[in-house]
Amino acid sequence: MTETEFNETIDELIMGIEDQLDDIASSIDYETSSGILTLTMDDGSQIIINRQVSHFQLWLAAKSGGFHFEYIDGRWIDTRSKSDFYTILNNCIFQQSGENIELSS
């Protein structure tokens, strides 16, 4: 994957998350700045999703910890648990907001 392809893939993922949050009845606020997506829960806690171009990784920071994802066979996979990005994201959202939403690619 080239750097351009990597950035396009991350941009599509971020836009997809934003579109899905717009389409569901959720109290989660979001903001994108300089390619970093910040999800803010009602209690003020945040989940931050950003790219690490030097590693070609997608990173997610939440109350439960930090996660690093690599793009494998068309999916973002956590380097430690081997779980899918959306599985971890949805779990983190539930843990921090209590909202059981199902974001997906």
Mean pLDDT for 72-79 is: 97
Q: Please tell me the predicted confidence (pLDDT) of residue 77.
A: 98
Mean pLDDT for 11-19 is: 96
CB 76 within 8 A of CB 85: yes
Which segments within 43-102 are labelled E, that is strand? 46-52, 57-62, 65-72, 75-78
Q: What is the pTM of this model?
A: 0.94
Domain of 47, CATH number, reads 3.30.920.10
Mean pLDDT for 29-43 is: 95
Nearest to 28 by CA among 96, 84, 87, 85: 96
| Residue 102 belongs to some domain of the structure | no
| Residue 60 belongs to some domain of the structure | yes
Mean pLDDT for 38-53 is: 97
Q: Tell me the percentage of the chain whose pLDDT exceeds 90.
A: 92
Which residues lie below 8 Å from residue 64, measured CB to CB, with a gap of 6+?
Answer: 91, 92, 95
> What element of type H or E holds 38?
strand 36-40
| Residue 38 belongs to some domain of the structure | yes
Q: Which two tokens stand for residue 60?
A: 């997610």
For the chain, how many structural domains are there in total? 1
Domain hosting 84: range is: 3-97
Distance CA 12, CA 46 (A): 21
pLDDT band at 65 (very low <50, low <70, confident <90, very high): very high
